[in-house]
Structures are given as structure tokens and as C-alpha cells.
């Protein structure tokens, strides 16, 4: 049998077994976020807390919950230029949010409110210093994007602005998670080199923190 026929046969068998589809993830259009209802902001402030790492169960977040949490972090809330977190000089977001789940990794695209396919790997076990990080249904990886801050050439200022934005985003996530009764925990202890490799980060892009999400 000619070589290309053999290769074609192998791919056909893999596809039939479902192996091929499990090797690829796809972009995901998120459902519209929840923007009404829930508990009031003052009740959410009274209840906000970090879920203990060992308290995350194997239960998965729904797409609707993920949609609302990502929108709360950095979604458009006023037409095409206005976000749920404040940005220096009203610039478009200069931090990226990667979403690590059991079935792969995606990049949150705030403009289309969708998840862009990055990798089919479950990287949750290799990104946190603490073993419990893998227990979360999803782990958000917040990465500073210095290209978004070219107006500010001072590297220290770029870091400062990315950290301020990260603080706003993560507090928004905590408050939305409280309202949704979803667990959340800010994590600074990260395996930076593993994250940079897994996400194929560009020169200058720096992971700032992880945010564990789950039930
Ligand atoms: C900047 C910062 C870094 C943190 N890093 C970690 C961490 O690496 N690992 C961890 O388990 N929790 C981490 N946390 C979560 C804190 O331990 C938690 O917020 C703190 O115990 C207060 O609890 P509360 O959020 O319920 O008020 C961090 C929180 C912040 C704000």
C-alpha cells in the first residue's frame, strides 16, 4: 500500500475513534452575561471572601457563569469603548485573560465576548505553586500586555498600570462570584516559566496573577 494511503487510513481510524476531535478545541461564543438581578452590591461587599483552596469541588462552572465572571472582569459595558474595569486614558484593556479549564485553554476576547482557542491541554496542574490550584473548575491567568500601553514608555509605569487593572478586575470577579454563589481565590504563587511556555507569551508579556473559580 502506498505511504499516503496508509497515513490516510490511520487518520480515518483516529477520526472514527473520536481521537482527532479530542485533540482540538474550538473557539467558543459565550452566552450573554448576566447584567441584572443577583444580590445587591452592598450585600456582595459584605459577603466577599476567598474560597479555601481545598474547598473547590470537581463541579464545573457553566458557560453562563463563566460568561458573567469574564464580563465582570473586563467586558464592554457602554457600547464599543467602555469597560467594567477602569483603564488609563480610556485605552482598550492592556491585560489579557486566559481561561484554563479541564478541556483546554482559551483567551477571552472582550470585543466579541468569546473564547479564542489557545491549546487543548489541561494546564491547571502545572501553573500554580500550590497543588490545590488544579481543583478549580477554571483558572483565569491574568497577563499584562505592554503593547497596549505604548503611550507610556516607562516600564515601571506599565507594570503599575497593569497591576492596578488586575486589582480592579479581580475585585469585580470576587463580587460577581459572590452574587453567583461561585467560589473564587486570588493566587500570586505561580510557575511563571511553565505559564509562559504553555501560553507561548510574547516578549514583555508577564503573568500577574491567577484567579481560581469553581464551586
Ligand atoms: C496580592 C494577593 C496575593 C495572594 N496570593 C495568594 C496565593 O499565592 N495563594 C493563596 O492561597 N492565596 C493567595 N491570596 C488570597 C489571600 O490569601 C486571601 O485573600 C486572604 O487570606 C484574605 O482572605 P479573604 O480574601 O477571604 O478576605 C492572595 C491575595 C492577594 C490579594
Query: pLDDT (tens digit, 9 = 90+) per residue, 29-88?
Result: 999 999 999 999 999 999 999 999 999 999 999 999 999 999 999 999 999 999 999 999
Pocket test for ligand 1, best of 44, 185, 208 (most atoms within 8 A of CB): 185
Q: Are 95 and 169 in contact (CB under 8 A)?
A: yes
Q: How many structural domains is the chain composed of?
A: 1
Q: Is residue 8 part of a domain?
A: no
Domain containing residue 158: 26-214
109: helix, coil or strand? strand
Let me know if residue 36 belongs to a domain: yes
C-alpha grid cell, residue 196: 509562559
Measured CA to CA, the distance from residue 145 to residue 156 in angstroms comes to 13
- Nearest-CA neighbor of 53 among 167, 189, 150? 189
Average pLDDT of span 105-122 = 98
Give the CATH number for residue 106: 3.40.109.10
> Does residue 202 lie in a domain region?
yes
Answer whether 200's CB lies under 8 Å from 183's CB: no
pLDDT, residue 12, reads: 44
How far away, in angstroms, is 86 Cα from ligand 1 center?
A: 22
Which amino acids bring their CB within 6 angstroms of ligand 1? Answer: 49-50, 53, 130, 185-189
Q: Alpha-carbon distance 158 to 154, whole Å?
A: 6
CA angle (38, 97, 113) in 5-degree steps: 60
Amino acid at each position: 500500500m502506498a505511504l499516503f494511503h496508509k497515513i490516510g487510513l490511520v487518520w480515518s481510524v483516529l477520526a472514527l475513534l473520536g481521537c482527532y476531535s479530542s485533540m482540538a478545541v474550538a473557539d467558543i461564543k459565550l452566552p450573554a452575561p448576566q447584567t441584572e438581578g443577583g444580590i445587591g452590591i452592598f450585600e456582595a461587599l459584605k459577603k466577599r471572601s476567598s474560597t479555601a483552596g481545598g474547598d473547590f469541588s470537581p463541579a464545573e462552572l457553566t458557560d453562563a457563569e463563566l460568561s458573567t465572571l469574564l464580563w465582570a472582569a473586563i467586558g464592554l459595558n457602554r457600547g464599543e469603548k467602555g469597560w467594567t474595569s477602569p483603564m488609563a486614558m480610556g485605552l482598550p484593556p492592556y491585560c489579557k485573560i486566559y481561561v484554563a479549564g479541564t478541556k483546554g485553554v482559551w483567551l477571552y476576547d472582550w470585543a466579541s465576548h468569546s473564547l479564542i482557542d489557545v491549546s487543548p491541554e489541561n494546564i491547571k496542574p502545572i501553573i500554580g505553586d500550590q497543588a490545590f490550584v488544579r481543583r478549580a473548575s477554571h483558572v483565569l491567568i491574568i497577563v499584562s500586555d505592554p503593547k497596549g500601553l505604548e503611550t507610556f514608555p516607562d516600564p515601571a509605569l506599565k507594570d503599575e498600570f497593569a497591576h492596578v487593572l488586575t486589582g480592579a478586575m479581580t475585585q469585580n470577579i470576587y463580587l460577581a462570584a459572590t452574587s453567583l454563589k461561585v467560589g473564587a481565590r486570588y493566587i500570586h504563587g505561580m510557575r511563571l516559566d511553565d505559564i509562559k511556555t504553555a501560553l507561548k507569551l510574547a516578549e514583555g508579556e508577564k503573568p500577574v496573577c491567577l484567579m481560581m473559580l469553581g464551586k
